[in-house]
Amino acid sequence: MTNYIHVDKKGSDFGLGNGESPFLTIDKAASVAQPGDSIIVHEGVYREEITHINTGLSESRRISFEAAKDERVIIKGSEEITEWQQIDDSIWKVEIDNKIFKDFNPFATKLFGDWLVVDNDKSLGQVYLNDQSLFEVSEYEQLIEPKKIEETLDHWTNKQVTYDYKDESIYVWYAKVDKDITTIYANFHEFNPNNEVTEINVRQNAFRPFKMHTNYITIRNFEIANVATQWSPPTAAQTGMIDTHWSKGWIIENNILYNAMCSAIAIGKEISTGDNLNTYRKDKPGYQYQIETVFKAVNSDWNKETIGSHIIRNNEIHDCGQNAVVGHLGSAFSKIYNNHIYNIGNKREFFGHEIAGIKLHAAIDTQVYNNYVHNCSLGMWFDWQTQGTRISKNIFNDNTRDLFVEVSSGPYIVDNNVLTADYALDNHAQGGAYVNNIINGEIVHRLMLDRATPYHVPHSTLIAGFAPVYGGDDRFYNNIFIGKANISNIGTDIYNEYTTSLLEYKEKVAKEEGDHEAFHKIKQPVFIDDNAYLNQAHPFNREHHYFKNDSFNPNLSIIEEGKDVFLNIDVPDNFLDFKGEIHDTETLPKVRLVDANFEDANGKPLTINTDLIDDIRQKQSLIGPLQNLTAGSNKVKIWTKK
């Protein structure tokens, strides 16, 4: 029988924790909750960190944290600040006693870590005006005439771009930290900060247990905001507003999370396997330290029995600097689905090589599906050891880039997704199966011969070997490629020099001299058939069966109407006669290097037999993510916001 522990803004931490005598803080309830208990939090704003969390023992003996039914519960990493003093037309200042920060002052803590690129001395501090974060400047003089940013270099595409802010000027702040006082100056323009909700962040996390292996925790129905999370690369302790801290079996569902300085949800590694050693020591490449991180984890307790297997579902996550979800190693065996993710990495206050809506390393057997990801710098990034991973039925819209798979040997599956960015897909990997997708943008395909990365015994964390990315060993079936004006590399012609069978590949390798050197010279086989190419998209030159119409523009678009998301697409009459086979473990050739089949996460045969909206496919069905399109204009509801 479940024991319910209650928390209420009218309660007391000296209470009994029941409905009649609730606790005041969530952390107090956490400290007394035992396996099987459920903590019910009642309406209000809770400004605290929940750290004294005990472990659950199994799926049936979880410890749950949840907002009371139909009550709005907000957990904030910020404190409201009043008594601002006006010192100029729009410049205000406030002096803050450093006691408010306890042992962590974000304004005195620098954004820091491996693979981080910052153009200024950025801190973790944030100032919020009505829950909108302002921009930090490095000098007081920059407060006086803050200008709209017209152009800057976009590190994701290496192009000059213009960013359009809602206001004609940027709202900015500057902080001066002394021993006892932190003074914050801000340009609020037309606003009087004392008449608005004006806050600063003061906490590193919302939920993070002190102890590792705090397992089987559920967090649901909260609104969590304004937390000073640190940069989270794969070679450091990865942290978020919700931080699983190297544990197993968390369920994070039905929450609204926003304004994380860096990441909202962290399901990644802990500190003992690496702590930004490349940045501190500068004696080895970050690549080398990341390899060491993987081996330290394997030699410690990284395995399916103790780590990962998290569920992240039905959350709305937006306006975070680095990620909605981040994870290395600890993300293995997890499921991430039905989440609405947007405005990640768009503020452009800093840049680093770990920014995306979802950024996972070593996502072994991780399933990422049915997510709506839009208006992000990069939608999803799967980096290193993407093995047994399935990326399915996701909708990408208005991102700078949509999907990136890097230095992995597979097998991984990308099926029934809609990619719409001008820069749609980075494929710097091998061993992938791309089935029934719409790809409406450029594909960038690169070999990585100088960065051998691990691959694993199937469905395990045990390392089976290392391999560089030779290029190829990819499968493209039943996809729709749509060209765009002035954008190249849309289609599968990027593989024109590749072999098409393992036999042909081995025969060519045998003609080369040397051992491993020979394999660097010959491109691996690719398996490409039954794709459609519209509006100047181009096929692989050895593809046998394909549909091509250079003059037809399907006018693809994704639009929102209230909570519903629709895909608009025009279809030519003769396209309806072009059908593709259902693909499964038997029809997808196994990957060469890992010597592994395309299976489900449990090691059983899989069949890709449903489309984007879960309609069952016929044996011979229309290719692409929607099998029931008709000739002419189509408007199909493909997602609904919560």
pLDDT given at position 146: 57
Backbone angles phi, psi at 634, to 5 degrees: -125, 140
Q: What is the pLDDT of residue 418?
A: 98
Q: For 215-228, what is the mean pLDDT?
A: 98
Q: Which region holds residue 97: left if phi is over 0, alpha if psi is between -120 and 50, else beta?
A: beta
Spatial separation of the C-alpha atoms in residues 305 and 301, rounded to whole Å: 9
Amino acid identity at 498: Y
* Mean pLDDT rounded to a whole number for the chain: 95
pLDDT digits (tens, 9 = 90+) for 505-558: 999 999 998 888 889 999 999 999 999 999 999 999 999 999 999 999 999 999
Whole-angstrom distance, CA of residue 420 vs CA of residue 366: 24
Residues of the chain with pLDDT > 70, as a percent, come to 96
Give residue-wise pLDDT tens across range 243-302.
999 999 999 999 999 999 999 999 999 999 999 999 999 999 999 999 999 999 999 999
CATH topology (fold) of 79-201:
Immunoglobulin-like (2.60.40)
pLDDT digits (tens, 9 = 90+) for 130-176: 999 999 988 898 888 655 444 444 555 555 544 443 444 689 999 99
| Mean pLDDT score, 317-323 | 98
CA nearest to 184, candidates 259, 81, 274, 38: 81
Average pLDDT over residues 371-382: 98
CA distance 325 to 25: 26
pLDDT at position 378 over 50: yes
| pLDDT confidence of residue 169 | 63
pLDDT band at residue 595 using 50, 70 and 90 as cut-offs = very high
Predicted confidence band at 349 (pLDDT cuts at 50, 70, 90)? confident
How many Å apart are CA 284 and CA 230, to the nearest integer?
A: 23
List all residues 6 or more positions away from 557 whose beta carbon is below 8 Å from its beta carbon: 567, 568
Residue 70 has pLDDT above 80, yes or no: yes
Residue 32 CA to residue 50 CA, distance in Å, equals 12
The CA distance from 163 to 276, in Å, is: 31
Residue 256's nearest CA partner among 153, 170, 169, 340 is 340
SS (H, E, C) 522-573: CCCCCEEECEEEECCCECCCCCCCEEEECCCCCCCEEEEECCEEEEEEEECH
